[in-house]
Structure 1
Amino acid sequence: MRNILPSQETSSPALAHAAENVRHYRQQQGLSQDELARRAGLSRRMINGLEAGTANISLSNLDAIALALGVQFVDLVRPPQTDNSDIRSVMWRGASDASQAVLLGAAPAANMVELWTWALAAGDRYDAQPDQSGFSEMIVVTAGVLDIVFEHETRQLAVGEFAIFSSAQHYAYVNQGTVTAHFVRNVIT
């Protein structure tokens, strides 16, 4: 569902919020960094780097940390004292400055529904890591053309076209066009 949190930006607000929120939930539950790392299937070095604001962490690893802490993904990345309905946080940047993913907000579902806007510059690509079983995505293209590349097929979506699929698999968003593709993405957990 997610790829790289923009830690390459030393002033990333999303990374700062994740660092603060992970530390808060970990300490609230009386967990060491070692124990949280074990529960999340990550290294202690990753947890330490995240809490220090220096880790280059994938968004799927943040999902694993949220699961290990018993909280939602949005609980880790939203600004403190912010309501889930208005997060507006840049969560991913591509090779081009025109490529980015913004988590707009989230609402309860069986677990949670997240609303994102995405811009993917010409020639850029986002490679997702598989989510846990039960995760789904809903995509609708608002400008340009977007290819969603799965293991055995590629779906090309033009303006107004949509796709609904399980995100418990490898997939990628690819813009092979000449203009920036814009799309809205719902993540259902």
Structure 2
Amino acid sequence: MRVHEPESLILSGSVVAIGAFDGVHCGHQTVIREMVKNSHSKRVSSVVYTFDPPPRAYFQGAQILTNPNEKLKLLKDLGVDHVVLAKFDEHYLQRTPDDFINELSMMNPRSITVGDDFRFGHKRGGDVSLLKKHFLVNPIRPICCANGERISSTRIRELILQGKQDQALPLLGWG
């Protein structure tokens, strides 16, 4: 697996998953495995585009579940070919939605997977519908555990803060 700075990855074809992927929890693992499988069937590279720190940590001071090295190891273990690790800071926040779309275009994505509430660019000016004007986009609905509750980094953080590691670890799927 190779790690890249934003705007440095040029590919003739790819399948891309974009997200914070903090914790690389069971929900993330499901999405990434499917993306990797899809890349194999299309015979193109798999790419995870992610952020350090995760946006929720940057804006709200949320606890980070996996540091960048842990996240990269987990992504490598899932069979990802390339990771774009964007430094999420004031400079990155100034990028326009078009800047992000142009960067993605350099990877020639055959498909892009994002959460159905994905936003990007300066002041969150871009959304899934804008992305769909340029690429084949697979917005994914939240992934739920056996009891029907959404698996999310926020929920895992809350369980950890409540001292319920026994409930959080199965959602992480790697503890």
Name the TM-score, length of structure 1 as normaliser.
0.26
Normalising by structure 2, we get a TM-score of: 0.28
Indicate the structure with greater helix content.
Answer: 2
Higher-Rg structure is: 1
